[in-house]
Structure 1
Amino acid sequence: MRITHYAVAVALALSLPAAAAAAASAETVDVPRPSAAAAETADVLKPSAHPVKLRSAPRKLSVTYTYQGQEHTLDDFLTRTRTNGFLVLDGQDIVAERYTGASRDTRFQSWSMAKSFTATAVGIALREKHIRSIDDPVDKYLPELTGSGYAGVSIRELLRMSSGIDWDEATDAPRLQAAANKGYSISKMAARQKRGWEPGARFEYTSMNSFVLARLITKTTGMPYHDYVERKIWRPAGMESTATVGNDSHGDSLGYCCYYATDRDFARFGLLYLHGGKANGRQVVPASWVKLSTKPSPANPHYGLHWWLGEGGDFMAAGLGGQYIYVSPQQGVVIVKSSIAGGAPDQEEALIAFRAVAAEVARTR
């Protein structure tokens, strides 16, 4: 089943790494520049028949934090970053939930938070032996990549964003999304990528890596990426509402972006990781994969396998313009922040603010 969304902000990067702060002018994707209003098609994820229950248990949270020598309040942070949805879980209790220009039924665009879903699908496919090892070269499973910059590159290095592909997220990711909106085959674009440096030698945030991983899921499991996500993650994790996942209209899910879901279901995904991969008493994601995904990579101590990492065991999925799923295992807290229009990059400040919220939740139990 497919529906149509209208993509916006294709002239922006799809994630918030510090390296993407400045845009370059070089063209590196050989496709015409489509209109920003081009249609993006999407596939449907059906919800669980037994959603994970979230209990409404609001309480007052008095949150302040210091960033760059200045004291801020949570309200100030949410206002400055144009936040439309904000939800805080203490375990399965909703202790804070607010919306501005949106509601609990709004399906927010995930942008690069989708990458964490894609990595989760890889972990499940590995458990089910569709993938023998993440140290296998990706072109072993995707022969169309033989001869490209991805030839011989391990799945692990794609997950770590250390694939060695010649890529500049600030300029290449917007063109990638524009091409998808226009209906170009992203699979064919992946096969044209060039090697820029030795795989594993350094961290380079690359949305194309996540697309290739989504394509890997389709090829190895024998079912479309969105079907696999629905059957192995969305429904087993107890999601309450229908969601959609963007594709390139050639049958390939994007994988690097474009989940449209409610904040409560994004929170359930965070809860899945908070509980070591379990939902409704069932092991949905291998506990070993949750642990491996949130372990620092050699090339970047603040990045795991498609998750951004803090220094105290906390971690988060992050997307363009201020989309976050934050998980604090130490405090037992999950935080979701969503923005429709998006504000300035704020990932460093967001981590500090979320830690202050988690500490306040723990203090007020």
Structure 2
Amino acid sequence: MAANNVNLESNGSGEKRGKLLVLFPIMYLSGGTCVALITLGGGTMKLFFEIACGTKPLTTVEWFLVFICCAILLAQLPNLNSVAGVSLIGAISGVSYCTLIWVVSVSIGRPMDVAYYPLKAKAEMPWICSIVNALGIVALAFRGHNVVLEIQGTMPTSTKHPSRVPMWRGVKFAYFLIAMCLFPLAAAGYWTYGTLIPANANGGLFNVLLDYHGQDTSRFLLGLISLLVVINCLSSFQIYAMPVFDNLEFIYISTKNRPCPWWLRSAFRAFFGCLAFFIAVALPILVSLAGLIGAIALPVTFAYPCFMWIVIKKPQKYSAMWYLNWGLGCLGIVMSFLLVAAAIWSLVYTGVKPHFFNPR
């Protein structure tokens, strides 16, 4: 349990306060990410079947249901250690489809009417808010911070070999891979399509590739990319749902004071999968709220570690490190408020068609 891995008992009611401050953003980010993965994975399943078979036998909601059934079956693996292989497959598929999308886009070439003029709004405030909102979307792209403590909690640790050392190496390598996937994708995508990319491209660059180069690209390549996206979404669902699974089990264990039986663990996971499916169908606009989701959970990455360091290490008051960590922590909180405000402003300014219970 990510929220329970940090012991702040030395600070009086620190443990309860820590749970309140950490549990909500972690559960919120895990749940929001899983709902977004259902929307993306189910929609891509539909695309894959259309590319492979040329027919549309199921509706979007039915494809969401197919995806969550597959995800719930995979979710029966008991803990993060057991999903290491699934995680590796997901990482390989993620790197593969990101690389394929930008390589195919660049190799085919730019559409005839591509342009690169700045997308500046008529008013200054919406333009600034759009930029700040984009930072929230970037923060969501590096969203692994909600499972970092969860993963570290499963690793063996001792005074000689603390778990934070391999964990820090793993985090650096993982974020390097994410950057190597997303930054070439963004640069190559903008070079190829420029301002032809819609402001709310929920399907990402793959949908833009289908719109402008769908006829010029082999069905095998398009099918392979869509299949890799589905595999990545199914694998990612297990990782981001694990904090929710563990906390549901922890509530049962702490209440009943006995181990959680396998059938109840399966029921908890099926319940969460069904709840995420319901939200994905009821609120299909959730993918458009990426900037807001990333902004609300930002303190977990930019603020909490600084405050935790002060509580755990107890540096001398008013020393350079004390000021540095307080300053960075407060800056992280301020950034989070600014990003939330900018995300809400952008949503109000651009407008979002809700189409509740009508995913497309």
TM-score normalized by the length of structure 2: 0.26
Pair member with larger Rg: 2
Higher percent of residues as strand: 1
Higher percent of residues as helix: 2
